[in-house]
Structure 1
């Protein structure tokens, strides 16, 4: 039976409408993962609990429609897409439990891998898997793909560190291996299934040739096909079942919780880059290092080194390396410095006989180490950044036996030449013989598809047949290698995998054509187009690394999804299609709800700032040029009007009370079609800037130019806030306490950094206001002699480059306190719990850790809420699109419960933070001023 309206109707009966998506924008957005395939789901369902998964599986069985589970969608082989029902994880799958002081951790599938490690870090542990996507991928995907990484190897992957699992089978059965009652009930209800698995295991072990082949395959790093090693490693059928789930890519069931045995995270590390004259010498050295105390050994061929040789901070000698050069990036880790030094001595001794062309010897300097790892981590993005528009970047993932690694590299390079992949590069995890090769690939015409088909056939023959290696070491089989599983494993093992599949999913409803497929051309179907859309985003490889930091992800679209939709609109326009309906939906989903903070660029492998595209499109749609010009010319009048509105609202609040005014405001907003901002008790009172009387000419204190942002000059504390002094008053008090003479630029009420204009799509007016401001600051600072203090981090960020070009020393609150006030002030930390919000602009300014450090000087109990990278207030969006702010801060109340106060560095952000936490959020200076006194020695 195919998907029908009846299926959708039943889904809507079981799942609330706000978590069921069948509109063209949502289905297209979720039709994309990090692979080069695309399938458009008929419906996307965001599930919040296990019961909903069971219900949806029952519906799928009833109507015989396929289901695919999706975590973060960072999979590279086409595992996380569907043309039927796509089930994605909602917010309620982030539970964790740390056990035995960090030696074990139980995780739900929605937890991001890096977050799990952040929870474990204070105890000195981490989870074993360390995929390159760990900052974005989720535990569900890590388990489903048996993902590994640079230090994981085979011993520390999910399969080998699994301690327990809770899973859901296609028939709706749930079993938790850590719950005795659950296990007993499952053994009773599913005895026949367990008996069948046990029989398969016995038969496999008795088939010596097959058992030996399985053991051989898993001596290598291998994720091709199902985890047949479970049949020879375990005799308990429940252990077999849970280990079959690892690496099954959702074709056998749904993993709703997993418990890991963790591994130590050693604090002392040393890193080296060793360049050998040829591949053979490099690979022989890697073989020697296999027995040495190393945590990671990464191989980079000459092409991969060339791809990153112009990156800042890298050694100049990379340019002059010989054509056949090949490098190893080596890292050793230890529980202490003495042990580390002993390990390094052993490593150096082992490598003493290998001549080097160049090297960066082992260093413990974190900065140098970071630069060396930037070489390795920059290779994949480097190819992505220079690929021709309209092509994708393919990253393949194979394993050669370590003693044949050199020949394997050479033979791969020969295949690149044979098939014309002249830009392909090779790098990988040398200790495991695991190589990644990356190349740009177009699928726009049949000739390119045919070239790819021929190349992959040769790769499969080379790796799987000639070398007996694995075609997928850690990226999972997916659709990409499904046609080659039989070639790699042989017919008997392939049929064994199918028996397991039919035993657990007899109707083939779970993620069909992934891992196991009878279609020999499935890897050439449903290839994803990457049409040109805009130079700002054309290099996007749709990896999804940006998504965890986006405040609108889960509400409307993520940065990746915005690019997907805009690409589709542009392609449809070029094809002459009517895109009006799609663009109508895009206006809200793509433009109105984008905070445009640019955090996505920090996570993007190729540095794409989706906010730049959004601002550009807003500019193209902006129709109020005359109004913008008037506001720019008469900015002080606009501030007066703002104060007037705030004063009026404050007066009404006094008369009617906050609860009644809140209800009336909600009604007015509804009647206005959401064009009038919602009032609530977090709204600020007006504040008026009064130019202070200049200091005396003989004042010998150092001067600082104080630039109060326009929000600081208009928006004071809320009426119910315990702190009623304005930010300007507190800032001036703190600066003077630190021994500074505070001066102000002339006519401050007419000054603006330009951010309000830029965010609305008026770049010319923004540039004009910025230039005007820089001129005023130059005059006030005596042409840059005096430092300039800006009290709001977004404004600081907006003018940072222009200020630097003008020779101004510009500081946000964090940097000024850190560099100029810490030594001038004595701190008496408070005992009350304090919540800290690190704004987007503070992150861009590189002051996130500085803010947290200052907060910890002020309070012994600092809480930094997890997973809130951007509050979503975004200037005035907290007023005009309040659902964005609410969505971004949906976990804030729970995380800040028990805190007495919150701090930040943006007045508008603080409004939203106060609104959604119930706390009073203030600027950092309020806290610092309250807990400090001037040092007597000054």
Structure 2
């Protein structure tokens, strides 16, 4: 680190907590990666939690003449969120939002995820205008800074058109809040240079009729190439001009501290149709006709794009029959009522009466069919990613043609694919706007490949920007990717105007240098990201970051994307060392960092796979790597597997001893002794917390045998499999209901009239999860196979349903059993089998609900929420907690993971709420500890409400 960076680091540490200033090499590499195909490694990464820290950091960087770059979610594709200097990211403290004017406006901080903003607006039947494909991950700061749009928002509802006001921080730390007249007046006095400079730019633009008309033409299209020059012709008030120049400025002019949007209607009724035409010309002509009808979205897909998803599950059969000449339009219409929607759909189809539609799926509102149709469109990007060669990356480009040239544009792009041998390339896009995405795979390891890409992009630029006067970037932002072509698209006077804007707002050139304005004509083929092979489990990762919001360790150590980045680098270095020295390298800093950051703190929940476009479960890699890490413990683990009953008895004895110790010595003494030992052993012994469960003393097997006496002669039977956690653990000492879960489960089943059968020798059984999480695959398989056989025999060869009282065990069993067994966790079983036989009287109180990661992966979130809502008058499902991070036993051994995963929980517990519910006994320990209220199985709530 150079002297200036060292001085900056020292200065930052006087105001910002040291753990939020990252200088370690491995972490800088991991944190510095974004979704683009560029790699720059920052010298310092700073995670800031409030506006004062932002201003302090900006001023400190300016004082030391050090460039800095702001990043939101890092899902941008064009290289605008990477830095080789100072990278500024935001903590989760930037999630504030305010609903204004009954939902017609919403004020958002830059850390709010786009989908969350829409969730806040849903009760008002409103949403924000921008709807990028990454909306479940990308954040408002990035949406505004890139002027992101999407499938439905077009140019009418993007950030530029729907911004109401914003708060901006400039390079000298000056703040402008365009919603406040006092702030505006203060800014006019503090920064007259900017006010006067903007006024001169407006006058100069309007006095250049040719340029002004070019600007108007370019923004009839979707256009994010360069700065928003339309601000200079659309507005005359310098404050409004500044506000709109910030949109799409990619962090090169200032920092957007919050933004208020004018929201748009979210129509409750929607219908979709898929229409297939003989060729791209017919489809393009249909687009021109559809543009005059009540459509909200028209997505075009060329023949190669359709071919890429033809074999995916659920695709209409006719997709497989299409040739490469075919083209399809996916059409959506929206309305306020079903009658209007039906009329709109009829109007749309009537407008196409003169077209030959060779195949179609007619307009439908059926949720499953609609989901299948949109899966065709959404599956195209990952379809290319899934088949790419190891070592290559997936590139998705984003252009716009005038709609009347759409067919020619597609044809000539396809010719360029053939010319430059991008044989797998596909085209799809937002046809109403002439906005096309094309996706292809590209390697950068050989100079010849770099040159091929550079020549291809030169040809694309000439085709789009020169021949058809289109946009080289319609919605992905200029970044580094298109910076060398900005002048080509805008001309010398347009580009000169942009340089003046940059100089006016950032005279030192410190804000995100190299982005939008870049004199290096080879910037787009420089600093290219390597994608070395690491492991077949993760080699398909394109580092998009879609996985990050659901990862429980993302604020503690690494996200799945960052784990893969480090592991790729680690494997690359080890192969290089082995090739040069003929042996494995010694353990270095990167390996040490990865040991804890990559392996120890991964919950291995698999939630990342649900968000990943190509289905990568980073947890599978982590469990594979843990095989070597935990190998020395295999003999102990094997003994526990072979003597499982004895093992659980020892756990029960330990819980009993803990109860006695608490009564005799008190919580303080027990905590001091246990956690003092943990400190002495360097964290190798478990943590003690007051929410430690009591021992389960319930004779559940005996009680289950009596249930038939209560139910009489019934045909309703269930095989009940208590998990090993349930068999050993009772409740925490301050829980309202002290009955163990086994007793409560039997009570609910008895009320519903079920005869309960518990497998014999249940004390020896386990689903194998404790072994699986540590990579002990053989033992995990041994245990789950034995459990399957026992359940198969007990369930009359799969005739009877099987209830497992914790969701993680149920999920693992469902995934690993090879016979047709009907296994359920508590919420799903209750909803399907018990509710028809129970009368529920909701308890009159507010309760918390935690949906475990296993339940989420089984698609049970809505079902679990509905069950809780039928049992209690008010149910709070806290946001931003996808997984509790307890992860089997990590809550005891790596408690910081649990703490990080549920850190937003306590603030969301209402003052009058005294208990919470879930469906995993171990998860409930950590939830109780960090929420301040006891959590129990949802079956306790059902039992209380049921009669």
For 2:587 and 2:332, how far apart are their aligned partners in 1?
Answer: 52
| 1:370 CA drift (Å) | 0.3
Contact 2:5 2:43 in 1 (8 A): no
Task: Show the counterpart of 2:783.
Answer: 769
For 2:501 and 2:4, how far apart are their aligned partners in 1?
Answer: 26
Task: Show the counterpart of 1:498.
Answer: 499
Count of paired positions? 932
| 1:174 CA drift (Å) | 0.7
For 1:354 and 1:322, how far apart are their aligned partners in 2?
Answer: 19
Indicate the SS of the match to 1:685: coil
Contact 2:302 2:324 in 1 (8 A): no
Indicate the SS of the match to 1:68: strand
Please say which of residues 659-668 and 371-380 is displaced more in the overlay: 659-668
Contact 1:707 1:788 in 2 (8 A): yes
Indicate the SS of the match to 2:347: helix
Q: How does 1:749-760 map to 2 (within 5 A)?
A: 749-760=763-774
Q: How does 1:348-747 map to 2 (within 5 A)?
A: 348-576=349-577, 578-623=586-631, 624-688=633-697, 690=699, 691-692=701-702, 694-695=705-706, 699-747=713-761
Please say which of residues 340-349 and 72-81 is displaced more in the overlay: 340-349
Contact 2:714 2:753 in 1 (8 A): no
Indicate the SS of the match to 2:844: coil
Please point out which of 854, 857, 872 is paired with 1:841: 854
For 2:930 and 2:280, how far apart are their aligned partners in 1?
Answer: 58
Task: Show the counterpart of 1:864.
Answer: 877
Aligned CA RMSD, in angstroms, stands at 1.2
For 2:4 and 2:220, how far apart are their aligned partners in 1?
Answer: 42
For 2:821 and 2:136, how far apart are their aligned partners in 1?
Answer: 36
For 1:548 and 1:562, how far apart are their aligned partners in 2?
Answer: 14
Task: Show the counterpart of 1:15.
Answer: 16
Indicate the SS of the match to 1:779: helix
For 2:651 and 2:836, how far apart are their aligned partners in 1?
Answer: 39
| 1:699 CA drift (Å) | 4.0
| 1:15 CA drift (Å) | 1.2
1:429-452 CA-partner distances (Å, limit 9, x unpaired) = 000000000000000100000000
For 2:517 and 2:605, how far apart are their aligned partners in 1?
Answer: 42
Indicate the SS of the match to 1:529: coil
Please say which of residues 19-28 and 324-333 is displaced more in the overlay: 19-28
Indicate the SS of the match to 1:674: coil
| 1:667 CA drift (Å) | 2.1
Task: Show the counterpart of 1:213.
Answer: 214
For 1:858 and 1:181, how far apart are their aligned partners in 2?
Answer: 51
For 1:826 and 1:246, how far apart are their aligned partners in 2?
Answer: 55
Contact 1:572 1:578 in 2 (8 A): no
1:713-755 CA-partner distances (Å, limit 9, x unpaired) = 0111011212100000000110011000111001111100000
Indicate the SS of the match to 1:210: helix
Indicate the SS of the match to 1:607: coil
Please say which of residues 4-13 and 876-885 is displaced more in the overlay: 4-13
Contact 1:2 1:64 in 2 (8 A): no
TM-score when normalising by structure 1: 0.98
For 2:608 and 2:695, how far apart are their aligned partners in 1?
Answer: 34
Contact 2:416 2:456 in 1 (8 A): yes
For 2:617 and 2:780, how far apart are their aligned partners in 1?
Answer: 19
| 1:578 CA drift (Å) | 4.8
Indicate the SS of the match to 1:831: strand
Please say which of residues 82-91 and 648-657 is displaced more in the overlay: 648-657
Gaps of 5+ in 1: 934-938
For 2:295 and 2:799, how far apart are their aligned partners in 1?
Answer: 51
For 1:911 and 1:24, how far apart are their aligned partners in 2?
Answer: 36
Task: Report whether the alignment pairs 1:170 with 2:199.
Answer: no
For 1:659 and 1:123, how far apart are their aligned partners in 2?
Answer: 49
1:482-540 CA-partner distances (Å, limit 9, x unpaired) = 00000000010101000010010001000000011011001111100000000000000
Task: Report whether the alignment pairs 1:908 with 2:918.
Answer: no
1:376-400 CA-partner distances (Å, limit 9, x unpaired) = 0000000000000000000000000
Contact 1:3 1:84 in 2 (8 A): no
Please say which of residues 664-673 and 356-365 is displaced more in the overlay: 664-673
Contact 2:843 2:944 in 1 (8 A): no
| 1:579 CA drift (Å) | 4.9
Task: Show the counterpart of 2:581.
Answer: none
1:753-803 CA-partner distances (Å, limit 9, x unpaired) = 000000011110000000110111112112112111100000000110344
Contact 1:593 1:884 in 2 (8 A): yes
Contact 2:698 2:740 in 1 (8 A): no
Contact 2:714 2:754 in 1 (8 A): no
1:46-82 CA-partner distances (Å, limit 9, x unpaired) = 0001111111111111111100000000000001110
TM-score when normalising by structure 2: 0.97
For 1:172 and 1:825, how far apart are their aligned partners in 2?
Answer: 63
For 1:414 and 1:221, how far apart are their aligned partners in 2?
Answer: 24
Please say which of residues 814-823 and 533-542 is displaced more in the overlay: 814-823
Indicate the SS of the match to 1:826: coil
Contact 1:661 1:680 in 2 (8 A): no
